[in-house]
Amino acid sequence: MDIDKLFKVPKLPGGSNKRRMPEAPTPEMLKRMKLDTRASDDIAPSSTSLSTNGSRKASVQDEDDTVMQADFAPGGDADYFAEEDEEGRFFGGGLTSEQKDILNIFDSAGGEEAREDELSITGVRRLLLRFQRAADKNQDQRSKYSDDPTKFIDSEADLDLAIKALLPLAQAPVVAFPELVRSGAISRLVGLLSHENADIVIDVVELVHELTDEEVGNENEEEEESEGSREEALKMLIEGLLENSIMELLVDNLSRLNEAEESDRQGVFHILGIFENLLGFNADLAAQLVQKTCIMTWLLARIQIKTHDENRGYAAELLSILLQDNRLNRLDMGKKDGVEIALKVLSQFRRRDPVDADETEFMENVFDTLCSALAEHEVKKLFLDSEGVDLMVLMMKDKMQARSRSIKVLDYAMSGSSGTSSCETFVEALGLKYLFSTFMGKYLWDIASDHIACQQQKLKGHAVPASEDTSHTLGIVSSLFTNLPSDSPARIRLLAKFVENSYEKVDKLLEIRDAAQSRLNAVNREIENEEKALIAEGDSVGPEEQDLYYLRRLDGGLFTLQTVDYILAWIAMEDDGIRNHIQSMLNRRNKSLKDIVKILEIYRDNVDENDTQLNSADGGPSQREILQNLIAFLDAC
Helices (runs of H) and strands (runs of E) counted in the chain: 32, 3
Per-residue pLDDT at 427 exceeds 90: yes
Which residues have a Cβ under 8 Å from the Cβ of 515 and sit 6 or more positions away? 446, 447, 448, 557
Domain presence at residue 466 = no
Per-residue pLDDT at 86 exceeds 60: no
Domain boundary among 46, 72, 98: 72
Using DSSP bridges, classify how beta strands 67-70 and 48-50 pair: parallel, antiparallel or unpaired: unpaired
Domain presence at residue 413 = no
Q: Between 101 and 199, name the one with better pLDDT.
A: 199
User: For the segment 179-189, what is each residue's pLDDT rounded down to a tens digit?
Assistant: 999 999 999 99
132 and 65 housed in the same domain: no
Per-residue pLDDT at 551 exceeds 80: yes
116 and 68 housed in the same domain: no
Per-residue confidence (pLDDT) for residue 620, from 0 to 100: 73
Domain boundary among 16, 50, 72: 72
Chain centre distance of CA 347: 20
Measured CA distances, 584 to 14, 498, 515, 566, 616 (Å): 88, 16, 19, 18, 36
Per-residue pLDDT at 64 exceeds 80: no
Q: Would you place residue 364 in the very low, low, confident or very high pLDDT band (cuts 50, 70, 90)?
A: very high
Tally the domains of the chain.
3
149 and 194 housed in the same domain: yes
CATH of residue 259: 1.25.10.10
Q: Would you place residue 52 in the very low, low, confident or very high pLDDT band (cuts 50, 70, 90)?
A: very low
pTM, 2 dp:
0.76
Q: Strand, helix or coil at 585? A: helix
Per-residue confidence (pLDDT) for residue 120, from 0 to 100: 85
Per-residue pLDDT at 49 exceeds 60: no
42 and 125 housed in the same domain: no
Domain presence at residue 600 = yes
215 and 273 housed in the same domain: yes
Beta strands per DSSP E along 39-121: 48-50, 56-61, 67-70
517 and 611 housed in the same domain: yes
User: For the segment 213-269, what is each residue's pLDDT rounded down to a tens digit?
Assistant: 987 655 554 444 455 588 899 999 999 999 999 999 999 999 999 999 999 999 999
Domain presence at residue 366 = no
Under a CB-based contact definition with an 8 Å cutoff, are residues 603 and 566 in contact?
A: yes
Q: Would you place residue 302 in the very low, low, confident or very high pLDDT band (cuts 50, 70, 90)?
A: very high
Residue 90 dihedral angles phi and psi, to the nearest 5°: -105, 130
Measured CA distances, 144 to 140, 162, 194 (Å): 6, 21, 18
User: For the segment 554-585, what is each residue's pLDDT rounded down to a tens digit?
Assistant: 999 999 999 999 999 999 999 999 999 999 99
Domain presence at residue 591 = yes
56 and 200 housed in the same domain: no
- Rounded mean pLDDT of 425-450? 73
User: For the segment 110-130, what is each residue's pLDDT rounded down to a tens digit?
Assistant: 444 445 556 789 999 999 999
First-to-last C-alpha distance (Å) of the chain: 90
User: For the segment 137-167, what is each residue's pLDDT rounded down to a tens digit?
Assistant: 999 998 888 888 888 889 999 999 999 999 9
Per-residue pLDDT at 50 exceeds 90: no
264 and 191 housed in the same domain: yes
Per-residue confidence (pLDDT) for residue 531, from 0 to 100: 87
Under a CB-based contact definition with an 8 Å cutoff, are residues 557 and 448 in contact?
A: yes
Under a CB-based contact definition with an 8 Å cutoff, are residues 577 and 500 in contact?
A: no
Domain presence at residue 389 = no
Under a CB-based contact definition with an 8 Å cutoff, are residues 558 and 602 in contact?
A: yes
Domain presence at residue 574 = yes
User: For the segment 614-636, what is each residue's pLDDT rounded down to a tens digit?
Assistant: 454 456 788 999 999 999 999 98
502 and 603 housed in the same domain: yes
What single DSSP character describes residue 84?
Answer: B
68 and 120 housed in the same domain: no
54 and 122 housed in the same domain: no
35 and 144 housed in the same domain: no
Domain presence at residue 193 = yes
Question: Amino acid letter at 616?
Answer: S
Domain boundary among 235, 266, 282: 282
Range of the domain at 505: 489-636
- Rounded mean pLDDT of 288-315? 95
Measured CA distances, 624 to 607, 616, 629 (Å): 7, 10, 9
Q: Between 180 and 543, name the one with better pLDDT.
A: 180
Q: Using alpha carbons only, give the angle 115, 116, 119 rounded to the nearest 5 degrees.
A: 90
Q: In whole angstroms, what is the distance from residue 293 CA to residue 336 CA?
A: 13
